[in-house]
């Protein structure tokens, strides 16, 4: 009908990202070039060759993706965002000494404003490094939710529950965690999910762990817990409870497809069988494990057995940066080195860890982790026009994967889109004031150190 049928059949979309190398991370792991992604509202509505997608769209906003890789947004599945306030203060200490001498005394001084500024700083840093969704464990969930609302990201937040052997404290913390869930779950247009975060088997009595598991089952909540991080933790658990931390978690009902066990460095065959049988997710936090000399989890083996392993930065107090792509390179190279097998943890599997597996671990695989119509428009553009990405032979898909895993860092992230909204463009936040966030976090950190008596 009419004189311009082609124009009349154009689909109105809000955003068209056009001409890039699409690493879709879909079931076939297709790489499309030149490719385009069309977005309407918060969702992807078309993915394919630019020649097909562009002709059918009338976009409100267009981003040129030539000389860029377009990837699903990165997912960081373990961290403590407010701990950015103690960045650089944990050096050369064991986990136990760092927790008791620096982390807990310092963070105990943090007021609401401090916690908010700490989370905001970390969220900004993650955003600039291409992290569009993250898991976080710490008290002050409403503050974290507000910070996530401000940055535009997604997060699965959990109040970090500990009782240190005190039943009344445990009960109060569990109630605080449930209050935070009632108050904040679904916050920021659904971008905030709230679950439960019992800290570990060494800070929670089994009764509290079981109570957390029961509440999570009752309300279908996501769970995060540290487990088998150090040899000392495993030995003490065996001495106190007669079983490993993973066995204790299983006995308390904590394992399952909606649970992330962070670390899992020191696990035996029994532990592995329990994790596999329950489809529990594992967060590999390689930089933190190295810095605190905890050990190196054999994650290539976990992945080959079928465990869902994602990557976590852990808190910025023990990493000390939130550069997930830098950690990914570290993770892959170390698996090759400890196994003395260069085929270990190949690039495609590594990329899966920070996209598809991360989304699955957060319980959001239906919405995140790949570039496909119907999924949320969470994606990043990586700028290839740089010496360290040259030469490129991207007609070979292995070359694009290798460049992403072993050449790229967070500094190469040019553009970040979450739920269809452009949050970072040309390496700069669109809506946030970096200088102001940094200044406020600096002031909060000074206050904490002074109050904890760590300024000498
Ligand atoms: Zn942690």
pLDDT(398) > 90 = no
pLDDT(226) > 60 = yes
Mean pLDDT of 117-128: 98
| pLDDT at residue 96, rounded to an integer | 87
Taking the centre of ligand 1 as the mean of its atom positions, its distance from the CA of residue 83, in whole angstroms, is 10
pLDDT digits (tens, 9 = 90+) for 296-316: 999 999 999 999 999 999 998
User: Could you tell me which of 144, 128, 124, 137 has the C-alpha nearest to residue 188?
Assistant: 144
Phi, psi dihedrals of residue 274, rounded to the nearest 5°: -65, -45
Taking the centre of ligand 1 as the mean of its atom positions, its distance from the CA of residue 41, in whole angstroms, is 34
Taking the centre of ligand 1 as the mean of its atom positions, its distance from the CA of residue 75, in whole angstroms, is 16
Residue 16 to residue 13: CA distance in whole angstroms: 7
Residue 346 to residue 72: CA distance in whole angstroms: 19
At which residue do the structure tokens 């961290």 appear? 79
Taking the centre of ligand 1 as the mean of its atom positions, its distance from the CA of residue 53, in whole angstroms, is 42
| pLDDT at residue 29, rounded to an integer | 96
Mean pLDDT of 167-182: 98
pLDDT digits (tens, 9 = 90+) for 365-378: 999 999 999 999 99
pLDDT digits (tens, 9 = 90+) for 48-63: 999 999 999 999 999 9
Mean pLDDT of 176-181: 98
Taking the centre of ligand 1 as the mean of its atom positions, its distance from the CA of residue 78, in whole angstroms, is 6
Cα 83 to Cα 63, 75, 80, 426, 428: the distances in Å are 35, 19, 6, 27, 23
Structure tokens at 229: 């991080």
Taking the centre of ligand 1 as the mean of its atom positions, its distance from the CA of residue 315, in whole angstroms, is 6
Taking the centre of ligand 1 as the mean of its atom positions, its distance from the CA of residue 288, in whole angstroms, is 8
| pLDDT at residue 347, rounded to an integer | 96
Taking the centre of ligand 1 as the mean of its atom positions, its distance from the CA of residue 417, in whole angstroms, is 27
Handedness of CA 330, 331, 335, 341 (dihedral sign): negative
Provide the phi-psi class of 374: left if phi over 0, else alpha when psi is between -120 and 50, else beta: left
Phi, psi dihedrals of residue 388, rounded to the nearest 5°: -75, -5
| pLDDT at residue 64, rounded to an integer | 98
Taking the centre of ligand 1 as the mean of its atom positions, its distance from the CA of residue 141, in whole angstroms, is 16
At which residue do the structure tokens 């669109």 appear? 430
| pLDDT at residue 9, rounded to an integer | 80
Sketch out the chain's domains with CATH numbers. Answer: 5-72+374-427 (2.30.40.10), 74-361 (3.20.20.140)
pLDDT confidence band for 94 (50 / 70 / 90): confident
Residue 405 to residue 191: CA distance in whole angstroms: 27
| pLDDT at residue 84, rounded to an integer | 96
Taking the centre of ligand 1 as the mean of its atom positions, its distance from the CA of residue 44, in whole angstroms, is 33
Mean pLDDT of 237-258: 98
| pLDDT at residue 1, rounded to an integer | 40
Taking the centre of ligand 1 as the mean of its atom positions, its distance from the CA of residue 47, in whole angstroms, is 36
Taking the centre of ligand 1 as the mean of its atom positions, its distance from the CA of residue 427, in whole angstroms, is 28
Taking the centre of ligand 1 as the mean of its atom positions, its distance from the CA of residue 156, in whole angstroms, is 14
Q: Which residue has the higher pLDDT, 292 or 2?
A: 292
Q: In percent, how much of the chain has pLDDT > 90?
A: 90
pLDDT(5) > 50 = no
Q: In percent, how much of the chain has pLDDT > 70?
A: 98
pLDDT(250) > 50 = yes
pLDDT confidence band for 289 (50 / 70 / 90): very high
| pLDDT at residue 98, rounded to an integer | 87
Residue 39 in contact with residue 15, Cβ under 8 Å? yes
Taking the centre of ligand 1 as the mean of its atom positions, its distance from the CA of residue 289, in whole angstroms, is 10
Q: 313 CB contacts (<8 Å, ≥6 apart)?
A: 76, 78, 79, 126, 285, 287, 288, 319, 321, 322, 323, 324, 327
pLDDT confidence band for 6 (50 / 70 / 90): low
Residue 160 to residue 195: CA distance in whole angstroms: 10
Mean pLDDT of 405-410: 97
pLDDT digits (tens, 9 = 90+) for 195-208: 999 999 999 999 99
| pLDDT at residue 321, rounded to an integer | 94
| pLDDT at residue 128, rounded to an integer | 98
Taking the centre of ligand 1 as the mean of its atom positions, its distance from the CA of residue 107, in whole angstroms, is 14
Mean pLDDT of 4-8: 50
Mean pLDDT of 266-286: 98
Q: Which residue has the higher pLDDT, 392 or 45?
A: 45
């Amino acid at each position: 009908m009419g004189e311009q049928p082609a124009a009349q059949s154009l689909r109105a979309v809000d955003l068209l990202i056009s001409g890039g190398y699409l690493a879709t991370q879909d079931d076939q792991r297709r790489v499309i070039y030149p490719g385009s992604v069309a977005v309407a509202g918060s969702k992807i509505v078309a993915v394919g060759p630019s020649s097909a997608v562009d002709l059918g769209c009338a976009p409100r906003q267009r981003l040129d993706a030539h000389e860029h890789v377009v990837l699903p947004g990165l997912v960081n599945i373990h961290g403590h965002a407010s701990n950015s306030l103690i960045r650089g203060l944990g050096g050369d200490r064991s986990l136990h000494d760092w927790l008791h001498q620096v982390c807990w005394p310092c963070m105990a001084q943090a007021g609401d404003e401090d916690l908010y500024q700490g989370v905001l700083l970390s969220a900004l840093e993650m955003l600039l490094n291409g992290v569009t969704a993250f898991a976080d464990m710490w008290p002050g969930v409403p503050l974290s939710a507000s910070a996530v609302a401000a940055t535009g990201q997604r997060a699965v937040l959990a109040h970090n529950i500990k009782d240190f052997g005190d039943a009344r404290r445990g009960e109060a913390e569990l109630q605080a965690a449930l209050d935070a869930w009632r108050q904040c779950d679904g916050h920021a247009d659904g971008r905030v999910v709230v679950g439960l975060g019992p800290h570990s088997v060494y800070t929670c009595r089994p009764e509290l762990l079981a109570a957390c598991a029961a509440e999570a089952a009752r309300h279908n909540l996501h769970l995060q817990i540290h487990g088998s991080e150090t040899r000392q933790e495993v030995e003490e658990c065996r001495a106190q409870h007669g079983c490993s931390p993973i066995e204790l978690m299983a006995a308390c009902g904590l394992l399952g497809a909606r649970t992330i066990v962070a670390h899992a460095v020191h696990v035996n065959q029994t532990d592995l069988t329990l994790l596999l049988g329950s489809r529990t997710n594992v967060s590999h936090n390689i930089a933190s494990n190295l810095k605190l000399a905890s050990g190196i989890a054999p994650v290539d083996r976990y992945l080959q057995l079928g465990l869902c392993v994602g990557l976590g930065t852990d808190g910025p107090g023990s990493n000390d940066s939130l550069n997930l792509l830098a950690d990914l390179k570290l993770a892959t190279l170390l698996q090759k080195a400890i196994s003395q097998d260069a085929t270990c943890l190949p690039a495609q599997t590594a990329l899966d860890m920070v996209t598809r597996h991360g989304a699955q671990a957060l319980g959001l695989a239906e919405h995140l982790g790949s570039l496909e119509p119907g999924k949320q428009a969470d994606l990043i553009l990586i700028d290839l026009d740089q010496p360290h990405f040259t030469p490129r032979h991207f007609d070979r898909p292995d070359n694009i994967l290798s460049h992403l895993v072993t050449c790229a860092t967070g500094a190469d992230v040019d553009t970040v889109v979450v739920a269809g909204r452009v949050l970072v463009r040309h390496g700069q936040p669109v809506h946030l004031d970096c200088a102001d966030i940094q200044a406020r976090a600096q002031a909060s950190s000074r206050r904490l150190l002074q109050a904890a008596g760590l300024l000498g």
